[in-house]
Structure 1
Amino acid sequence: MLKLALGPVLTYWPRAATFDFYQEVAEGPADIVYLGETVCSRRHEMKLSDWLDVADLLADAGKQAVLSTQALIESNSELGTLRKIAANGRYLVEANDFGAVHSMAPGTPFVAGPHLNLYNGPSLAVLAELGASRWVLPLEMGREQLAHVMRDGPVQMETEIFAHGRMPLAFSARCFTARNRNLPKDDCQFSCLDHPDGLLLRTREQKPFLVLNGTQTQSASVNCLIGELEDLARCGVDVLRISPQASGTAQVLAIYDQARRGLLDASDARAQLAPLLPGEACNGYWYGQSGMQQVAA
């Protein structure tokens, strides 16, 4: 059966709300939970010690807690935090840049995150030699390219896919949320707290286009592979990643859990998910098309 993973919270939430969220997650069906700040180090509501407390809570509830590293490292302080995560000694680490990979002690298992941009079997083999026990597909990788990677890559490594949520498309040294308020990045006044699901950017025709999330740009559409679970399993996917959203995450996890167990067919699951989505559903990348497209299974 496919495993269910909850990805790291990509947006910025208050500390109390974050703890309440993970208390609910501890009681839910997720098998794996990724924790930590992956977008911006100025987000100080949660310290590393807080994330470790949450990891303890989840481990006590029978979950696999994984500490995720920041995807774009720009300062010595961020590098210091990365090294502390890599040397935590208890929890598995998701490496989101190669600095994190090389910070791991030789032979220490880790997860190769989606931002390492692994597109072929030989690249996976190199990561396996360095200790990677699981990898996450790049967001735009479809089933045909995955088939080539699986044919040429190491057989002992688990495969995880970003199955549900607004897709993290790009990172920048600039903070777009602060820029929207004419604020410099170093004095952003923590503007992201005002947008728990990110700041929607529309075209001149008022169509949803992208979502601004501080230094990260996300898709406005929600990647939703609830109708492709059987196909994913056939292609060798082991883990489904659900990205947290400001409300409804517990219900989303429950629907995917029922679907993976065969208790809910794709049509009913899709209908139940529809009112929970913060944007229109899409699945184009899986079918080798533009990501914002919704393709019939």
Structure 2
Amino acid sequence: MSSITIGPLYFYWSPQQKQDFYFRIADEAPVSTVYLGEVICSKRIPFFERQLPRVRERLERGGKKVVLSTLSEVTVQHDRRSVGTICAETGCEIEVNDASALWWLEGRSFRVGQHFNCYSGETLAFLAEKGATHVCLPPELPAASVSALAEAAGALGVGIELQVFGRVSLALSARCYHARAHGRTKDNCQFVCEQDPDGLELRTMDDGQYLVINGIQTLSHSYLNLCRELGSLRDMGVTHFRISPHSGDMVKTASVFDRLARAEISTEEVDAQLSQLDVDASFANGFFHGKPGYLRL
């Protein structure tokens, strides 16, 4: 049976909002694993440090496996120290999202996050040799690539995870788009990204929906929804299905995907229930089918 997971939170929410979110996930969501940690901006990390032990304890008490995720982009000394601090944690598994974390984890097992760009069987084998026991594939991979990597992972004894719901992370930059959009510098951003709990929408010159920005991150405007592909993914050997957190009802989202994974409801029922979420965006699955990512096929 494949497992439902909650990926790391991309957006900057207040400490209270984050704590409330994870407490509810701990008590109500049918998920096996929750990834905790800041993966976008190291400047956000100190604001949740006080709540983190309570959140972690609550999740574990709720039967969830907690995995700590590292930054996806390391550009300055403060970023390196942040990654080192997380990797020094020995009480739970670490998910690495940037190769810099491998130095800290020499001789230890670890997980690989979807920002690591594991696109080939050779990369997968290299990471497994280094100690990777579980890999979350990049969400833009087409079905043929997912199938090939899942088969390779099975031979290596490595778990394979894939995002099945939520906005797709498309790119990272050294520049903070959020700060620039408000006439501020990255060093003096004043955490303006807190104004956009699901990212800041970008629109085309003719006012069409386009992309979303979140600090240094560019995301799809549409929400990935692979409910129609879940059976195929399971047959390929994908062992974990990742839901990327947003401000909508993630407990309901996790519940319908869990019921689908258990063959208790149909994909049509899942689509109907997900359409009731307060999401001002379309659903998409184009990447999986080798088409433009914003399409729903």
Tell me, yes or no, whether TM beats 0.5: yes
User: 1:1-297 alignment to 2 at 5 Å?
Assistant: 1-27=1-27, 28-44=29-45, 46-48=47-49, 50-106=51-107, 108-153=108-153, 154-276=155-277, 277-295=279-297
TM-score for the superposition, normalised by structure 2:
0.95
Q: Which runs of 5+ in 2 are unaligned?
A: none
Q: Secondary structure at the match of 1:133?
A: strand
Describe the superposition over 1:133-183 as per-residue Cα deviations: whole angstroms up to 9, x where unpaired: 100111211111122333445430000001100001111111111111111
- Aligned-residue Cα RMSD (Å) equals 1.4
Give 1:49 shift.
Answer: 5.2
Q: Secondary structure at the match of 1:144?
A: helix
Q: What CA distance in whole angstroms lies between the structure 2 residues aligned with 1:160 and 1:175?
A: 29
Describe the superposition over 1:1-34 as per-residue Cα deviations: whole angstroms up to 9, x where unpaired: 1100001110110001111111000012111000
Q: What CA distance in whole angstroms lies between the structure 2 residues aligned with 1:147 and 1:60?
A: 35
Q: What CA distance in whole angstroms lies between the structure 2 residues aligned with 1:232 and 1:264?
A: 17
Q: What CA distance in whole angstroms lies between the structure 2 residues aligned with 1:104 and 1:12?
A: 27
Q: Secondary structure at the match of 2:47?
A: coil
Q: What CA distance in whole angstroms lies between the structure 1 residues aligned with 2:105 and 2:197?
A: 32
Tell me which moved more, 20-29 or 244-253: 244-253
Give structure 1 regions of 4+ aligned residues with deviation exceeding 6 angstroms: none
Describe the superposition over 1:99-126 as per-residue Cα deviations: whole angstroms up to 9, x where unpaired: 11221130x2211111111111121111
Q: Which runs of 5+ in 1 are unaligned?
A: none
Q: What CA distance in whole angstroms lies between the structure 2 residues aligned with 1:149 and 1:215?
A: 29
Q: What CA distance in whole angstroms lies between the structure 1 residues aligned with 2:163 and 2:184?
A: 32
Q: What CA distance in whole angstroms lies between the structure 2 residues aligned with 1:196 and 1:83?
A: 28
Give 1:269 shift.
Answer: 0.6
TM-score for the superposition, normalised by structure 1:
0.95
Q: What CA distance in whole angstroms lies between the structure 1 residues aligned with 2:64 and 2:175?
A: 35
Q: What CA distance in whole angstroms lies between the structure 1 residues aligned with 2:50 and 2:129?
A: 30
Q: What CA distance in whole angstroms lies between the structure 1 residues aligned with 2:200 and 2:226?
A: 24
AA paired with 2:148? H
Q: Secondary structure at the match of 1:186?
A: coil
Q: What CA distance in whole angstroms lies between the structure 2 residues aligned with 1:62 and 1:269?
A: 25
Task: Say whether the 8 Å CA contact 1:222–1:278 is kept in structure 2.
Answer: no
Task: Say whether the 8 Å CA contact 1:36–1:48 is kept in structure 2.
Answer: no
Task: Say whether the 8 Å CA contact 1:14–1:45 is kept in structure 2.
Answer: no
Give 1:245 shift.
Answer: 0.6
Aligned length: 294
Give 1:47 shift.
Answer: 3.8
Give 1:202 shift.
Answer: 0.8
